[in-house]
Amino acid sequence: MSRRPTLPMLRQALGRRQLGLLPIVVALGLASAALEGFGIGLIIPLLGIIMGHGDTAGMAGFSALLQKVGAGLGERERLIAIAAAILASILLKNLLAFANSVLTAHIYGKASQAIRGALAERLLSVGYPFFLKESPGRLLNIISSESWRASDAIQAMLGSIVSASASLILLVFLLLLSWQMTLLVMLGLALVQLAHMALSAHLRKPSRSVASRNSALASRMLHLVHAGRLIRIFGQE
């Protein structure tokens, strides 16, 4: 089984129809993150009412704009309206997140089916010398374990798309609220990413070792399954 570039394999696994659903996944992720940011932003005027600081003194930009939400209402009515808006944004955000999860699960299922179908078709089309050269345990490990890991990788990619969309929206909200806060958050994220890269670099070699040992274990399981039949065929109980 020859190696192919990752992007063509991904396109083949997803198919045109599933690739066409990716923009919807991104749109749902953006809308969900926007609603979450809007709900968080409404906490500013809510806290202002509770603490008795309803004016926009000392505020600028997006913070001052949020502080003016419901300014024409009375204090009690404004508090109820802002709380209701926060609750509505949370409910709508969760509905969009649920729809996104359903769509992601649909894409994941179709991609998993395509991967295992392609593996089965490839195994049925290769010649007998291929099976003489390849270890049965390795082939079993590819079908039973590695194909699922490939499907999980596609699911992780879809999750990364949603997370990237949410990060983009929340970054815009942070910039609108305070560029100093955004700078501190970006610095913290950079430090976390560097630590993650340093830790994950040591996991590549153990990961390859685990895959190799899984192949050996699959070979032993095959021998265990077939051994009983062979022993009884030759009367060597």
Q: Higher confidence at residue 143 or residue 223?
A: 143
Out of 33-37, 158-162, 188-192, 219-223, pick the least confident: 219-223
Question: Which DSSP symbol is given to 146?
Answer: I
Q: Is 115 exposed, middle or buried (0-12, 13-18, 19+ CB in 10 A)?
A: buried
Distance CA 158, CA 140 (A): 27
pLDDT category at 206 given cuts 50, 70, 90 is confident
Q: What number of other Cβ atoms are within 10 A of residue 43's Cβ?
A: 12
Out of 49-53, 72-76, 100-104, 142-146, pick the least confident: 49-53
Mark out the alpha helices in 126-178 (DSSP H runs): 128-133, 136-141, 147-177
pLDDT category at 226 given cuts 50, 70, 90 is low
Q: Return the pLDDT at 5.
A: 39
The structure's pTM equals 0.62
Distance CA 213, CA 223 (A): 15
> 73 φ, ψ to 5°?
-95, 165
Question: What's the whole-number mean pLDDT along residues 157-161?
Answer: 79
Mark out the alpha helices in the chain (DSSP H runs): 6-41, 43-51, 62-67, 75-125, 128-133, 136-141, 147-177, 179-200, 204-233
Q: Return the pLDDT at 157.
A: 79
* Domain boundary assignment for the chain: 6-178
